[in-house]
Structure 1
């Protein structure tokens, strides 16, 4: 009798965990879709409040700044036929809305390291399919910018040498947890490096 009761509780706990995981994925996808709609409006209008006010006044890309949690643009990945909203910040709340822009990093045409992060089980779940030479595109209120993948790397999750925040040349980094199929907190990070293509 005790074994049957224990088995029932185990099955019930498993179903609850499975249902919660399914709900979290559904909710993240819903928030990402809402953020993408907002991002498309932002890019199309060339205006999103504080993020693009400087550009409506004719200021250069160097002055582009955004507020945490603000949807600022779109990351397009042609090989994956993916359009992903870019959100300022990399907190759990920010990453539920889309691809997070690391706050201390730069934006296109600011001559520095651009760092975008995303969850491996939602927005970046297929990044392992990308190859050297593939293109990435960032669309912002002040323009569209193309990048070509030059390298990939797998590092320990505690490796802080990847995000240098260098201000010497423009480069794009995509980061996500690794392995892609890992359950729980992944022990590594998958890094994609890309260089800007001149328009």
Structure 2
């Protein structure tokens, strides 16, 4: 019983800690993309998709999922630490406004809990310090967990969301749920 209680306390602590990290990242993201609250308005006005840079672990923006009332911080990188803060931007892909694939990943049991409720035609909005970008979901697919073919060059800009699948699976999920959305 002691082991079970210890495991329960440990799990509860991890969930609470992840929620706190995400709340802090969301507050930082809101301040970052809100020009009125940004202390460096002149610097923000000069920022563009071409000169925006970020380091792993930096909060870089927000992802809005209006259909499911989602408002999520975007963090540069996809390490476990990065994904505890919010949705991770896969660093080898571009950012909105740069004309190729943008890959955002998140855990199915934290930030992407409701992503399975999104439907074709729903909007996804990415807010970054240099602008706001709206995408429309055009396609979804389920692939093996080790399938890296979803990361590729595109002739046009595409926002790709990735999370583990099946959604209710306990443990390491064997597949990934992929959403493709194009600029609206």
Q: Do these two structures clear the TM 0.5 threshold for a shared fold by scoring above it?
A: yes
Aligned to 1:69: 57
Shift of 1:157: 0.3
Give a deviation string over 1:130-166, Cα, whole Å, max 9, x none. Answer: 10001100001111110000111111001010111x1
Judged with a 3 Å threshold, the aligned counterparts in structure 2 of structure 1 residues 91 and 41 are, in CA distance, closer, same or farther, namely same
- Residue number among 123, 127, 135 corresponding to 2:111 in the alignment: 123
Shift of 1:60: 3.7
Using structure 1 for the length normalisation, give the TM-score: 0.86
1:173 equivalent to 2:163? Answer no
Judged with a 3 Å threshold, the aligned counterparts in structure 2 of structure 1 residues 180 and 32 are, in CA distance, closer, same or farther, namely same
Aligned to 1:135: 123
Judged with a 3 Å threshold, the aligned counterparts in structure 2 of structure 1 residues 84 and 45 are, in CA distance, closer, same or farther, namely same
Secondary structure of the 1:121 match is coil
Which has a greater percent of helix? 1
In structure 2, distance between residues paired with 1:186 and 1:175: 13
In structure 2, distance between residues paired with 1:72 and 1:54: 18
Unaligned runs of 5+ in 2: none
Unaligned runs of 5+ in 1: 1-10
Aligned to 2:171: 184
Q: Which has the larger radius of gyration?
A: 1
- Residue number among 2, 6, 21 corresponding to 1:31 in the alignment: 21
Secondary structure of the 1:14 match is helix
Q: RMSD in angstroms over aligned alpha carbons?
A: 2.2
Map 1:43-122; keep pairs closer than 5 Å. 43-45=33-35, 56=44, 58=46, 60-122=48-110
Secondary structure of the 1:62 match is coil
Aligned residues of 1:179 and 1:186 also touching (Cα < 8 A): yes
Aligned residues of 1:84 and 1:98 also touching (Cα < 8 A): yes
Aligned residues of 1:119 and 1:177 also touching (Cα < 8 A): yes
